[in-house]
Amino acid sequence: MKLIKDKEKRISFQEYELRKISYKALFREKISSEKKKEILKLLTKLPRRSSITQIKNRCILTGRAHGILKRFKISRIKFRELAACGLIPGVTKASW
Chain segment 41-59, per-residue pLDDT in tens? 988 888 888 888 888 899 9
**Mean local confidence (pLDDT), 31-42:** 88
H or E segment and range at residue 69: strand 68-69
**Mean local confidence (pLDDT), 29-52:** 87
Predicted pLDDT of residue 78: 95
CATH for 57-89, options being 3.40.50.150, 3.40.50.300, 4.10.830.10, 2.60.40.10: 4.10.830.10
CA distances from 9 to 26, 28, 77, 84, 93 (A): 25, 27, 25, 33, 36
Cβ neighbours for 28, distance < 8 A, ≥ 6 positions apart? none
User: What's the rounded Cα separation, in Å, for the pair 1 and 54?
Assistant: 16
Predicted pLDDT of residue 3: 83
Q: Percentages helix, strand, coil for the chain, rounded to the nearest 5?
A: 60, 5, 40
pTM of the model: 0.66
Predicted pLDDT of residue 71: 93
